[in-house]
Structure 1
């Protein structure tokens, strides 16, 4: 066990190393922080921290840097979330205040978060498997194309073009809309998928051009509903990894691959255990099972009309955890309020 003063020395090392990117020595700690003890005493505290694998020397005769374990102790016991400034809060509001559908809101959310933190920003889509289809609209575009729009009660809007190869009369479009609506509207996505599948498998339908075109529209609706059930996320700021390449001990390739494939990051975010404030951090070697031992992920829960999802940032272990935790929490709370207001306004 380390002493309380040694833990405060760890705090100083983490904060100074994040600020300067330089290993931190006992003399620098005495000069920058008011411990009221000698450099020799600080060196004894640092030796205690090193014995506990909380700090390490990157080079012979250098200062010390935090280890992944040291960052964990800092985040769990020493970090104090830094309140966002009025300018930062105003910046979040300016990014998110404009109306838009869920896709647009989440895209603006990651842009706001990457601007705030300088990290890769990630927003997980809420799960729509239990959402209810509230509206289906068909808009004929001509030249054998039909715009298919599906809306859920959670605010998700899907738009997709179906290649019908024939154009319909307005009364025919109304009938198709009514047929699809009878299968879906007011029903959960999961139930709607089953009913659509039964409609597509109906052997009693005559093989005419009109029926084939209608079936194509129904098939497109089914694909959109299936996508509603998939885990998805939106990201921004991947270029920040390249700008901070020196903060990574090894190759950036695993991180870039994870960003491209998304599945790994989604799985990691979903398995992180949040505290009572809805916050969590997964640091360095804790991410080794996901192939991301070079990185840290900080997340906060947000609520999308009863469906929980997560917003967060990904970056090097040498990151400003208090500011990043405060940022993801603030953005998550703002996003929750925005989605609640949108739901109440419908």
Structure 2
């Protein structure tokens, strides 16, 4: 008996259980996987895998089912993630290309991913903290209020009200906007804030002297926002049709309501992907009680590069930066990992390309 064959048996058990959600016996393995050994040998291998914590036998006379450790080994040893078929890719592009704006694209991406996997899909909007300034507009809305409208390179639009004691002239507001857009365009909001504070506005601009500090503070506030409500989710209703007990589903529904927890978990996974470009957490690895019987597959999309003012060392460090947002799928631990990983990765790559195109278009418009 070799360790290699034993792990082949484990892979076969996981594959069969994912397909049937029924305990897997030795006879079924031999019939489906042509293992070229006797049923007694397979039973011996399965018993050893049970002792090692990879399988469990729910009943004395039943076959085995994978444990969390068994799923983890299976996921880690998947040789490759098979890409979507050409027909699937065409269908994905056809569906997503019809979107009218970023929010519509993200909502469609969540719907598409849910359809591809049959699970809950979660898509986060690009983080303001990692996005870059494309355009600032300052609009007077009252005698003491100015609305700062910030458009980022990812298409996100954020607003912040600035309270002033005296309203500057429209001409001076425009001169400040022009200065910010010229000198801070393509910088992250936090870096732009530092540069705005150092702006020299020239003579005759006394009525806007206090505005750079207010604008810089607004940029920093936007960068700090968690924006947990900017999560696009689809497929929650499909959970009701999963082959799971109410005892398992209730905490999972509760976990889906905790958007801040999901945001933290999936952001962390997307920032530490494996060599296949995805992050996978199974059961207790999620550190979330409601997901103890679930698995999460996540991939980041977009890219945040070094600001122009950074040193070469800083740029090198930022070359491997975290993505600006994530795409993820949540399902039972017996999910089809190969399909889910391929689908999550494909949607993430589409969104990265979409944002690249959006940024290129906006830069062209700005020119």
Scaled by the length of structure 1, the TM-score of the pair is 0.77
Unaligned runs of 5+ in 2: 199-207, 306-321
- The C-alpha deviation readout for 1:11-68, integer Å capped at 9, x for no partner, is 1111111111211111111222211222222111111111111111123311111111
- The C-alpha deviation readout for 1:286-340, integer Å capped at 9, x for no partner, is 1235652221111223224546133221111010001111111112222222222
Q: Which moved more, 1:74-83 or 1:176-185?
A: 176-185
Candidates 337, 344, 355, aligned match of 1:321: 337
Cα distance in 1, alignment partners of residues 263 and 160 from structure 2: 28
- The SS at the match of 1:250 is helix
1:185/1:107 CA distance change after superposition, 3 Å? farther
- The SS at the match of 1:22 is coil
Q: Does 1:230 align with 2:225?
A: yes
> Across the two proteins, how many residue pairs are aligned to each other?
326
Q: Aligned runs of 1:88-107 on 2, under 5 Å?
A: 88-98=88-98, 100-107=100-107
| Structure 2 partner of 1:337 | 353
Scaled by the length of structure 2, the TM-score of the pair is 0.73
Contact kept in structure 2, 1:119 and 1:240, CA below 8 Å: no
Cα distance in 2, alignment partners of residues 191 and 107 from structure 1: 30
| Structure 2 partner of 1:11 | 11
Unaligned runs of 5+ in 1: 199-210
- The C-alpha deviation readout for 1:247-290, integer Å capped at 9, x for no partner, is 36834343333322322112222333322232221111212356
Cα distance in 1, alignment partners of residues 159 and 104 from structure 2: 16
1:105 Cα offset (Å): 2.6
- The SS at the match of 1:252 is helix
Instruction: Report the aligned-residue RMSD.
Output: 3.8
Q: Aligned runs of 1:1-346 on 2, under 5 Å?
A: 3-78=3-78, 80-98=80-98, 100-129=100-129, 131-137=131-137, 149-152=149-152, 154-158=153-157, 176-179=173-176, 182=179, 186-187=183-184, 188=187, 189-190=189-190, 226-232=221-227, 233-240=230-237, 242-247=239-244, 250-272=247-269, 273-288=272-287, 291-304=290-303, 306=305, 308=323, 309-345=325-361, 346=363
1:41/1:281 CA distance change after superposition, 3 Å? same
1:125/1:181 CA distance change after superposition, 3 Å? same
1:25/1:132 CA distance change after superposition, 3 Å? closer
Contact kept in structure 2, 1:196 and 1:222, CA below 8 Å: no
| Structure 2 partner of 1:203 | none
1:15/1:194 CA distance change after superposition, 3 Å? same
Contact kept in structure 2, 1:297 and 1:312, CA below 8 Å: yes
1:224/1:256 CA distance change after superposition, 3 Å? farther
